[in-house]
Amino acid sequence: MNGGDEQHERAIEPGFEFISPRFEEPKFPMHQVWGYAASLVLTFAALWMTVNRIMSPSVLLGVVLAMAVGQAALQLGVFMHVRESRGPAWHLVPLGLAFAIGIGLVGMSAWIMLFKSGVS
Amino acid sequence: MSSQALHGGHKTPPQELPPEFQDQEESIKITGFWMFIVTDVLIFASLFATYAVFVNRIASGPTPAQVFQLNTALIETLILLTSSFTIGIAIWAMRQNRQRMVTWWMVLTVLLGMAFVSIELTEFAGDVAAGWGWHTSAFLSAFFLLVAAHGTHVTMGIIWAVALLFQLRKRGLTTVTRRKLYTFSLYWHFLDIMWVFIFTVVYLGGRLI
């Protein structure tokens, strides 16, 4: 049971500070309240912009997608405590890789469908 | 202590960690659950890619704008965002060792999850009744596959949460039940993230393409 403490004590190498663990346990869940409010604001803003078509559809799609990414970051940071870990938060590395592969997969699929010829 | 500087002052001694991280075995299970989320990100990415490819292949069926009702999607989004908040409060209460509070916020989360699934099933039933089943067009196949995959995840989450509530009642806030609540919260927030993308890509996107 104590074997892990040694690992926990190990210092994080320079350049790898992004995986250093972090815990926050405030007396009132202010972060959660703000996170919830921000996610509501982002949702209604995206909906309002879409219903009123405030810019050209393709640009608007990019904007609302960026807002969705913002909401995802909010959930990960505020609610999922993504930095919490016993030792270095190594799960951040595969998680980032999965998001990169996912964005590549979806983005390139959408991109290749823009070529109307030869694909049906 | 030279490592203190490298941690930017955030180094936490093991005895000050929350119980689910203090216990090495439970902490490994949390890391393992992150790996599950990694694989689920890839599954949803494949389904989103499928949807992006087929969204314009409507055959003789309806267009996305004809199928989707934004007010229903908005209600579903608000329910899921709220449930993400309630489970967040439950985890905060867990860290404060307030078991009754954890229970009630969990119950609220389960009820919101059930409301979400019922609205989604009503929406699906309405689509099918209108003759827009998943065999109508490639677009509708991809739509039902993506959105029902998410709905199935939520349904599984509800069953998981109910089981956890029974364990919580019987065993209290132990190291093991804390870890289970923690991984459940990760799962639930992850589903909320996937829904935000479904709302944006499928429902808002349906108005923009």
User: Residue range B23-29: average pLDDT?
Assistant: 91
- Is B155 inside any structural domain? yes
- ipTM > 0.90? no
Cβ within 8 Å, pair B89-A29: yes
Best residue in A7, A8, A17, A40 for a mutation probing chain B (most B CBs within 10 Å): A8
pLDDT tens across A27-81, in order? 888 889 999 999 999 999 999 999 998 888 888 989 999 999 999 998 898 888 8
Top-confidence residue, A119 or A21: A21
Residue B49 lies in a domain: no
Contact A11 B6 (CB under 8 A): yes
Residue B189, chain A, CB below 8 Å: the answer is: yes
Domain boundaries of chain A, sorted by first residue: 24-84, 86-120
For chain B, what is the domain count? 1
Is residue B60 within 8 angstroms of chain A, CB to CB?
A: no
Cβ of B3 and A110 within 8 Å? no
In angstroms, the separation between the Cα of residue A46 and the nearest Cα of chain B is 8
Task: Report the CATH number that the domain containing residue B89 is assigned in CATH.
Answer: 1.20.120.80
**B72, part of any domain:** no
Record: contact A91-B56, CB cut-off 8 A = no
For residue B28, give both structure tokens.
Answer: 């490994």
Kindly state whether residue B44 falls inside one of the protein's structural domains: no
Tell me, yes or no, if A40 comes closer than 8 A to chain B by beta carbon.
Answer: yes
What pLDDT, on the 0 to 100 scale, is given for residue A77? 86
Q: Which of B24, B56, B88 sits opposite A1 (nearest CB)?
A: B24
Give A7 to chain B, closest Cα distance, Å: 10
What 3 state SS string does chain B have? CHHHHHCCCCCCCHHHCCHHHHCHHHHHHHHHHHHHHHHHHHHHHHHHHHHHHHCCCCCCCCCHHHHCCHHHHHHHHHHHHHHHHHHHHHHHHHHCCCHHHHHHHHHHHHHHHHHHHHHHHHHHHHHHHCCCCCCCCHHHHHHHHHHHHHHHHHHHHHHHHHHHHHHHHHHCCCHHHHHHHHHHHHHHHHHHHHHHHHHHHHHHHHHHC
**Is residue A84 within 8 Å of residue A21, measured between CB atoms?**
yes
pLDDT for B62-91, tens place per residue? 988 889 989 999 999 999 999 999 999 999
- Tokens read off for B186: 């990760």
Residue B116 covered by a domain: yes
Look up the domain containing B133 and give its range: 82-209
Read off the pLDDT of residues B112-140 as tens digits, 9 standing for 90 and up: 999 999 999 999 999 999 999 999 999 99
Q: What is the rounded radius of gyration, in angstroms, for the C-alpha atoms of chain B?
A: 20
Closest in A17, A47, A67 to B74, CB measured:
A47
